[in-house]
Amino acid sequence: MKAGEIFGRHYASGQPVRVAWQEGVITAVESVPTAPADAPWIAPALVDLQVNGFAGVDFQQDDLTLDPLLVAARGLRAAGCGRFLLTLITDDWERLLDRLRRVRALRATCAELQRAIAGWHIEGPFLSAEPGFRGAHDPKWMRDPTDKDIHELRQCTGNDPVLLTLAPERQGALDAIRLASSLGIKVSLGHTDASLEILQRAVAAGAVAFTHLGNGCPREIDRHDNILWRVFDLVRQQGADLRVSLIPDGIHVAPALFRLVQRELGDSIFLVSDAMAAAGAPRGRYPLGRLELEVGADRIVRFPGTSNFAGSALRPDEGVQCATEILGCDWQKVWKQFSEVPASLMNLACGLEEGAPANLCLMTAEGSVRMTNDE
């Protein structure tokens, strides 16, 4: 709808409010004396910065078309996610850029996709190729970044928001971080076994985030010196301004570690689904680029016949529920980590305030979620 209003309770304060909008933009957020007994909680839609696919749709395909993209975007919207970064993972660099150009051109033809796809997350190929650290990424295509790569990425994406995950120990990575940052690309560190010194230098060069801490590393790590402790030291002890993402499914990060990271890093945390095609879809086998992955009744994504994790089948709204249960906290704290905090990292307007997108989630007392129609 072009214009509208709704009465409910502000998700952060709990106070009764009236929220009005026109042309998809919030025009007023006003306190009111009371709200109806059945009034919903009103919150900004979730913002997911790492989505590889959804609802049976894999974004890593060369022949992706408009209709599947709409299926994925609508599936995410039904899961409370109004905007996301479409994520492309390690592959031949020219092939990856061709996919990026294709999906960007498709988005340009469709207003609905322009509202949903806020930008792009490029995860690789500039990652650690070491076993464990490379995760599900194909080491065949991993390599060091160059200035040419960074300029090509910026040229390909225009002025769109871009998040680039790389391993700072790769040769030329620190220079790539400086250049990317100067061009407005946000750099996140991940799939890395960088030393604390290199992590420090990466932050000094302009890195602003760390991708899915607790993943992209071996199942067994040195208890005295590992990438987890280095990130804790970097942020907690040395005060580095680094936002750190977690996958809140109770699988990729064990509940005890999830609570520990939350206690140690606090306001630095934001949540991502890292969803692939199996998210929001039945159990079965699904593609992730050239890979075929299997999702069982436990909703864990694995390489067929192995115990190795490979992507996530998590819906964003399920992530909020799972994180709330693990932390034993109010859902409002978790919701902010999956909406306003990631939006702030990418300089996206988000929140219940004038001028922000009228991309609102309405929660009932029973816990059901629906979104306003801001079209």
pLDDT at site 374: 43
* pTM, to two decimals: 0.94
Which residues, in sequence order, are CB contacts of 21 under 8 Å at separation 6+? 3, 4, 5, 27, 358, 372, 374
For 46-348, CATH gives 3.20.20.140
Domain spans of the chain?
1-43+357-375, 46-348
- With beta carbons less than 8 A apart as the criterion, state whether 51 and 59 touch: yes
Distance CA 335, CA 330 (A): 9
Secondary structure of the chain: what % helix, strand, coil (to 5)? 30, 25, 45
Strands (E) in the chain, as ranges, are: 3-10, 16-22, 25-31, 41-44, 46-51, 53-54, 57-58, 81-89, 117-123, 162-166, 186-189, 209-210, 243-246, 269-271, 284-288, 291-295, 301-302, 360-363, 369-371
Question: Which of 370, 340, 358 is closest to 29 using CA atoms?
Answer: 358
The parts of the chain modelled with pLDDT lower than 70 are 1, 297-298, 302-310, 365-368, 373-375
pLDDT at site 293: 73
Which residues, in sequence order, are CB contacts of 249 under 8 Å at separation 6+? 299, 312, 314, 318, 319, 322
Residues in the chain: 375
Is residue 257 classed exposed, middle or buried when 0-12, 13-18 and 19+ CB atoms within 10 A define those classes? middle
pLDDT at site 373: 62
Amino acid at 97: L
